[in-house]
Chains A and B, each alone.
Chain A
Amino acid sequence: MSNLFDLLVAGLATGAIYALVAVGFTLLWQTSQTINFAQGEFVMLPAFLMLAAMHAGAPFWFAIILGILLSMTLLGLAFKMLLVDPMMRHGVLPLAIATMALAIGIKEAVKQFFSAEASSFPSIVPTGDISILGHAVSLQSIGVLVVAILAVFGLTTLLNRTSLGHQMQAAAQNPTVARIIGVPVERMILLTFLINAFLVALASLLITPIYLAKFSSGEVLGQAAFIAAIVGGFNQVRGAIAGGVLIGVLDNLAAAYVSTQYRAAVPMIFLIVVILFRPQGLLGRAEERTV
């Protein structure tokens, strides 16, 4: 029983990170029909930017800020202007392939310019355990959970409570009408790219101390975030959050109760079942069929 409690806490913590990554993924999809196959690499890169800054002698907090700013410039602004904008009118598939190539490019660049070895990464949360209901729970899990919840809460407040958020939603749901009623659609799309870049940098900051910084660590994470987004609902931010938490918990439970060898299969089978019975995702809206 104590085992289950620990698994749930760890699962919630990983799930919260998946949710952060998945939310950014659905934001990009909603505003610009971008399926970003490099999303996992987007999470991997900021940690290396921060590490590079630290190696150059910057203090930890400064490296974090620099890393987040660089991430927003490279993975937000540059990604949108150099890759998405020129390809947007060509449809979903070529752009998806281009992001696959981008994933290869980022991975290889990190391997070449930084290191092929895994590097450790300092944690923003103190290590150690605290006791909750008689269980020892690592502070790191709790810290990750708290930061991720704050980020998601901040984002949903922005989207649902502010006029900026309403404009973003309008731009995502119907760009033409939004444009007519005076929403600066282009600026809103750019904003979602910046938010995505911020979220992946945050996820990077939270997850890298646990799983180390490695050039190949984006693959697993990207895949988990995709599954989370699809399971929860491709076109819903709250769907992506629910999906992320669900996949995180499921993954941790599967590792303990299903064979470790087929651990990775459990979320996959779950994904297939969800898609077959509810293609729009558990919380998603069905997309209209176009003739």
Chain B
Amino acid sequence: MSGFAKPLKIALGLIVIAGVIVIPMNFNRYGLFILSQWAVMTIAAMGLNLTLGYAGQVSLAQGAFVGIGAYASAIMTTHGWPLPAAIVVAIVLAFAVGWVLGYPALRVQHHYLAFVTLAFSTLAFLVFRNESWLTGGIYGISNVPRPHIFGIATNKPLPFYYVCLGSLAIVSVAVWWLIRSPWGRAFMALRENPLRAQSLGIDTRRYTLMAFAIGSALGGVAGALYAPLTQYIDPVPFNLSLSLDLLMMVIVGGAGFYFGPFLGAMIAVLLPEWLRFTEGYYLMLYAIAVMGLLIWSPTGILGILDRYLAERRTKAASALRAVAKSRLETVQ
């Protein structure tokens, strides 16, 4: 059974990867923009999934980190720095701020933490809006350039989509490695039971701060890509509702599941677009769909799949047991 499932999974994965590379080739400008947005938001949601889904720390500030990354990238690239350098700065900056934001998490938990991070998110928005000497204030920063990668200009939508997709691939591999490393296991121990984790010798202080910092850094990466994607940034996209949207993506996709953010971002970015034919009703339908999904499966879409697989496994196991039992009986 399992020897059969693995090649199937790999084949399915390859088909999906080939699909996201090949199919958009004949998409129009807008379609490519939406897909690029999906890739960028998936990166941010993966970061939040590390913080929330794996380490169990509620954060309502991921949108602020996307903003920090976006401003770092926009300010640097409009001053002539290359994008990779800006991404590195965005990562370092978001990591450092995320680390500091982790300190409240050491003191308060759950909803209190949610509100500290919510307050931080609002403060970040105020800074973006009011420090106009740095961020351009409400007028924002325009003409954010798109990079040259290996000498190829990515000004057109398709090449830049591949930049986003490539970045998503790199981040995906890094996160995959991270959650399988001892760090990832420590995160999960932290989520399941902080006290027990501590008694097992896990430095909960350090890992809580780490969970925040790494998750935030990925938000910074997403922001650093978001700025050249839209080529214009102002404070509005990075207000509290982005943090709430990202949280929704993680929960709807399935918090604590590796592929959760991919699906969650797909629903949050693409579903409203697909529902656009309903004109003014599309966000309403989106809201109803999210509520319906959460009532049906609070662990998100992947939670449904997980439940189904677990059920099948128990059924298979009891079938095996039944076979073994009857054999035993015939032997006797």
Contact = CB atoms under 8 A, between A and B. Distances in A.
Given A261-B126, A272-B120, A101 B248 contact: yes
Contact of B294 (A87, A92, A108, A226): A87
Contacts of A261: 126, 129-130
A109 B130 CA distance: 32
Given A98-B291, A275-B112, A276-B107, A268 B283 contact: no
Nearest to B137: A261
A210 interface: no
Dominant secondary structure of chain A at its interface with chain B? helix
Contacts of A90: 294, 298
A58 interface: no
Contacts of A279: 107-108, 112
A170 interface: no
A262 B248 contact: no
Interface string A204-246: 0000000000000001000100110010001000000000000
A83 to B, nearest CB: 7
A101 B255 CA distance: 17
A108 B287 contact: yes
A188 to B, nearest CB: 22
A112 B279 CA distance: 10
Nearest to B300: A94
A104 B286 contact: yes
Q: Bin chain B's interface residue count.
A: 35 or more
Contact of A108 (B115, B283, B291): B283
A102 B287 contact: yes
A264 interface: yes
Contacts of A276: 104, 107-108, 116
Interface string B118-157: 1110110010011000000000000000000000000000
A95 B116 CA distance: 19
A131 to B, nearest CB: 38
A289 to B, nearest CB: 9
Give the residue among B112, B247, B252, B294 with the most A Cβ atoms within 10 A: B294
B119 A268 contact: yes
B115 A226 contact: yes
A52 interface: no
A170 to B, nearest CB: 23
Given A94-B251, A97-B247, A230 B284 contact: no
A111 B280 contact: yes
A87 B108 CA distance: 25
B284 A98 contact: no
Given A108-B284, A227-B115, A276-B104, A102 B291 contact: yes
Given A105-B284, A223-B122, A94 B110 contact: no
Contacts of A35: 111, 114
Contacts of B12: none
Interface string A96-119: 111011101100110110000000
B244 A269 contact: no
Nearest to A267: B119
Contacts of A180: none
A38 to B, nearest CB: 10
B115 to A, nearest CB: 5
A35 B120 CA distance: 19
Contacts of A230: 112, 115
Interface in B239-260: 240, 244, 247-248, 251-252, 255
Contacts of A94: 251, 294, 298-299
A271 interface: yes
B295 interface: yes
Nearest to B132: A261
B119 A91 contact: no
A264 B314 CA distance: 54
A265 B130 CA distance: 11
Interface in B146-203: 193, 195
A37 B252 CA distance: 16
Contact of B126 (A37, A95, A223, A264): A264
Contact of A97 (B104, B119, B193, B294): B294
Given A83-B295, A268-B119, A262 B126 contact: yes
Nearest to B286: A104
A234 B111 contact: yes
A291 B291 CA distance: 31
Q: Give 10 closest A-B pairs by Cβ, nearest first.
A: A105-B287, A90-B298, A94-B298, A101-B290, A268-B119, A104-B287, A108-B283, A108-B284, A261-B130, A112-B280
Interface of B: 58, 104, 107-108, 110-112, 114-116, 118-120, 122-123, 126, 129-130, 193, 195, 240, 244, 247-248, 251-252, 255, 280-281, 283-284, 286-288, 290-291, 294-295, 298-299
Interface of A: 35, 37, 83, 86-87, 90-98, 100-102, 104-105, 108-109, 111-112, 219, 223, 226-227, 230, 234, 261-262, 264-265, 268-269, 271-272, 275-276, 279, 291
Given A97-B251, A265-B123, 17 more contacts: A100-B247, A104-B283, A105-B283, A105-B284, A105-B291, A112-B281, A223-B122, A227-B115, A234-B112, A268-B122, A271-B115, A275-B104, A275-B116, A276-B104, A276-B107, A276-B116, A279-B108
